[in-house]
């Protein structure tokens, strides 16, 4: 399921990039370079490209949200596979008992 959504998301991204670059903006866009594109869609090229951009943008956001939800549900703890230690860390350290510890007078030399 995730692979299908990722593939659909990539296709939508590529189509969205192409449609946006084809549109004539203030700089003219790629439509000026490729004058045949306007003749493909006829006189309603502007409205077709606008509707297509809107549809692809909505699909882009839907696939983004779906991928985020799937990712959140599949997340696992990094600590999940670690085995618990047999003894706590405090028990493994060697702390001298009070009967074996030197007096303060013996420590100071």
Question: Is there a domain that residue 107 lies in?
Answer: no
| 49 falls within a domain | yes
Coil vs helix vs strand at 43: helix
Three-state secondary-structure class, residue 102: coil
Please report whether residue 7 resides in a domain.
yes
Is residue 52 in some structural domain? yes
In a domain, 41, yes or no: yes
Residue 74's pLDDT is 79
Contact 22, 31 (CB under 8 A): yes
> Mean pLDDT in the chain?
74
Total domain count for the chain? 1
Quote the domain boundaries for residue 55: 2-73
Phi, psi for 19 (deg, rounded to 5): -65, -40
Evaluate the CA torsion angle 99, 103, 107, 109 in order and state its sign. negative
Residues 6+ apart with CB under 8 A from 82: none
Q: Per the domain annotation, does 86 fall within a domain?
A: no
What is the structure's pLDDT at 96?
A: 60
Q: For residue 58, is it within any domain?
A: yes
The pLDDT score that the predictor gives to residue 1 is: 80
Q: Please report, in tens digits, the pLDDT of each residue of the chain (109 residues total).
A: 888 999 999 999 999 999 988 876 655 555 555 555 555 656 666 788 889 999 999 999 999 999 988 888 877 655 566 676 666 556 555 656 655 555 555 555 5
């Amino acid at each position: 399921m995730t692979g299908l959504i990722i593939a659909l998301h990539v296709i939508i991204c590529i189509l969205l990039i192409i449609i946006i670059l084809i549109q004539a903006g203030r700089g003219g866009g790629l439509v000026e370079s490729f004058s045949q594109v306007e003749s493909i869609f006829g006189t309603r090229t502007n409205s077709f490209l606008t509707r297509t951009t809107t549809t692809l943008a909505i699909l882009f956001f839907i696939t983004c949200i779906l991928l985020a939800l799937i990712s959140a549900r599949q997340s696992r703890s990094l600590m999940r596979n670690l085995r618990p230690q047999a003894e706590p860390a405090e028990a493994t350290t060697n702390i001298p008992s009070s009967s074996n510890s030197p007096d303060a007078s013996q420590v100071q030399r």
